Structure 1
Amino acid sequence: MQEPDADRPSSGGATIAIYSVKGGVGKTTFAANLAWYSAQGGHRTLLWDLDAAGGSGFLYGLEAKGSGLAEEVFSRDRSPAKLIQRTAWEGIDILPADESIRALDAQLMRIGKRKRLARLTEELSANYGRIVLDCPPVMNELSAQVVRAADLVIVPLPPSPLSARAFDLVVREISGNTRRHPPILPVLSMLDLRRALHRQARDANPNWPSVPYASAVEQCAVHQQPIGVHSPQSPAAQQFARLWRAIEAKLAERAG
Structure 2
Amino acid sequence: MASIAIYSVKGGVGKTTFATNLAWCAAHNSSRATLLWDLDPANGSGFLLGIDPKKKRSAQSVFERTHAAQKLVRRTDYENLDLLPADESIRTLDRQFDRIGKRKRFVKLVEGLAKDYDRILFDCPPVLNETSAQVIRASDLVIVPLPPSPLSSRAFDLVVEEVRGSGKGHPPILPVLSMVDMRRTLHREAREANPKWPVVPQASAIEQCAVERKPVGAFAPRSPGARAFAQLWTAIERKLAKA
* TM-score (structure 2 length as normaliser): 0.97
Q: Which amino acid aligns with 1:198?
A: H
Looking at structure 1, the residues matched to 210 and 151 of structure 2 have their Cα atoms a distance apart, in angstroms, of 28
SS state at 2:23 partner = helix
Letter of the 2:100 partner, please give it: I
Structure 1 unaligned spans of 5+: 1-12
Size of the alignment, in residue pairs? 242
**2:5 touches 2:142 (CA, 8 Å); kept in 1?**
yes
Cα distance in 2 for residues equivalent to 1:67 and 1:160? 42
1:128 maps to which residue?
117
Question: RMSD value over aligned CA atoms?
Answer: 1.2
* Mapping 1:1-256, distance limit 5 Å: 13-40=1-28, 41-66=30-55, 69-254=58-243
Cα distance 1:74–1:242, how it changes in 2: closer, same or farther (>3 A)? Answer: same
Deviation at 1:179, TM superposition (A): 2.5
Q: Could you tell me how far apart the structure 1 residues matched to 2:57 and 2:77 are? A: 25
Q: Conserved in 2, the CA contact under 8 Å of 1:158 and 1:188?
A: yes
Opposite residue 18 of structure 2, the aligned amino acid is F
Taking the aligned partners of 2:15 and 2:135, their CA distance within structure 1 comes to 15
Contact kept, 8 Å, 2:76 with 2:82, in 1: the verdict is yes
- TM-score when normalising by structure 1: 0.92
The CA deviation string for residues 27-62 of structure 1, in whole angstroms up to 9 with x for no partner, is: 000000000000020101000000011000000110
> Do the aligned partners of 1:160 and 1:200 also contact (CA within 8 Å) in 2?
no
Cα offset, 1:177, TM superposition = 2.0
CA contact (8 A) 2:26 2:34 kept: yes
**Deviation, structure 1 residue 77:** 4.3
Say which SS state the counterpart of residue 180 (structure 1) adopts.
coil
Contact 2:10-2:152 within 8 A present in 1 as well: no
Match of 1:7 in 2: none
After superposing on structure 2, the runs of 4+ consecutive aligned residues of structure 1 that deviate more than 3 Å are 161-165
Amino acid at match of 1:136: P
